[in-house]
Amino acid sequence: MSSSPYSGSELPDIANSDFQPNLSKRYALDQVFEQLTWIATFIGLLVLCLLLYDIISDGASRLSWQFISSFPSRRPATAGLLSALVGSIWLLCVTAVLAFPVGVGSGIFLEEFAPDNFFTQLIEINIGNLAAVPSIIYGLLGLQVFARLMRPITGGPSILTGGLTLALLILPIIIVATREALRAVPNSLRQGGFAVGATRWQVVRDLILPQAIPGVLTGTILALSRAIGETAPLITIGALTFIAFLPPLSLEGLQTDFTALPIQVYNWVSRPQPAFHTNAAAGIIVLMLVLLLMNTTAVLLRNKFQKGRM
């Protein structure tokens, strides 16, 4: 094992020291740990690359404008995922519009306004638990409450139902991310704000939120990335797999049936014909491109806001 990187450095010896620096052993541990973390990173990357390679080698040949701009079909060669892509984008927008204000609002309330008592601690524990509930449970809830009980409003297993269900699913993640971001803002800033006669809301709006917004946005977009990949709750609420129309861009559009990318992929994978499996791989590539786009947006937004604050 190699020892100190500073071989040859000779400080004068001190006689009878109570210290035994044992530098070579400490440096050795240092290196062992560095290598362990490197191996961990490498394993993650390797698995990811293998998956990517597998998918791309299967599906890249199928990617074409025709594939993206066609409706599903019984013949694999003419099938496309237009309705699934548009459905996913619709879902994403509805989910974001519903989950962002509620999640960020609850985060702000719990962190900045709520007193620290039994009731709020109960809420806190429950939010932590909700984040760990399997997504299919949310699907069952969505089926009963949104698709059945609220049918007059949502129109059954519609985009709105899907968006509401996914919004519930990612709400705890957004709340936790918001609270983390708010907690990272130093208390001295709040004190400074109060000391010039600001109310609680003015302190939050003008001093705390501008500092926390990059973290809030990152958390929200990561949560949305999770939502876009969810299959189980959408299948549970009864999303269809064969949709040969695009939802109209209107309020009624919210109440129409829909399909989404992961559902389409799931459907193709379960077909016996190998050509459909190629379609599935191509569908996964599209899904990943959408995810990549979202994560890039997250990074860009964060950088923009970080530059904006002083």
Window of 3-11, 12-20, 189-197, 251-259 that interacts with other proteins by CB under 8 A: 189-197
Q: 159: Cβ–Cβ under 8 A, 6 or more apart, which residues?
A: 87, 90, 91, 94, 247, 253, 254, 255, 256, 258
> In the bound complex, what is the minimum distance in angstroms from residue 302's beta carbon to other proteins?
16
Angle at the Cα of 172 (from 138 to 295), degrees rounded to 5?
A: 100
Q: Whose Cβ is closer to other proteins: residue 8's or residue 197's?
A: 197
Angle at the Cα of 138 (from 129 to 276), degrees rounded to 5?
A: 125
Residue with tokens 């800033």: 189
**Of the residues 51, 93, 122, 189, which one makes contact with other proteins according to CB under 8 A:** 189
Window of 41-49, 73-81, 182-190, 279-287 that interacts with other proteins by CB under 8 A: 182-190
**Of the residues 194, 222, 266, 302, which one makes contact with other proteins according to CB under 8 A:** 194
Q: Whose Cβ is closer to other proteins: residue 168's or residue 204's?
A: 204
Question: What is d(CA 194, CA 54) in angstroms, rounded to the nearest whole number?
Answer: 57
Residue 259 interacts with other proteins (CB under 8 A)? no
Residue 89: closest CA among 301, 303, 296, 289: 289
Token reading at 185: 């803002």
Which parts of 239-258 interact with other proteins (CB under 8 A)?
Answer: none
Which parts of 196-225 interact with other proteins (CB under 8 A)?
Answer: 196-200, 202, 206-207, 210-211
Which secondary structure element, helix H or strand E, spans residue 4, and what is its range? none
Which parts of 101-160 interact with other proteins (CB under 8 A)?
Answer: 113, 115-116
Rounded-to-10 torsion of CA 29, 31, 33, 37: 180
Question: What is d(CA 177, CA 191) in angstroms, rounded to the nearest whole number?
Answer: 23
Q: 235: Cβ–Cβ under 8 A, 6 or more apart, which residues?
A: 139, 263, 266
> In the bound complex, what is the minimum distance in angstroms from residue 310's beta carbon to other proteins?
3
> In the bound complex, what is the minimum distance in angstroms from residue 122's beta carbon to other proteins?
17
Number of residues that bind other proteins (CB under 8 A): 24
> In the bound complex, what is the minimum distance in angstroms from residue 186's beta carbon to other proteins?
8
Binding interface with other proteins (CB under 8 A): 113, 115-116, 186, 188-200, 202, 206-207, 210-211, 309-310
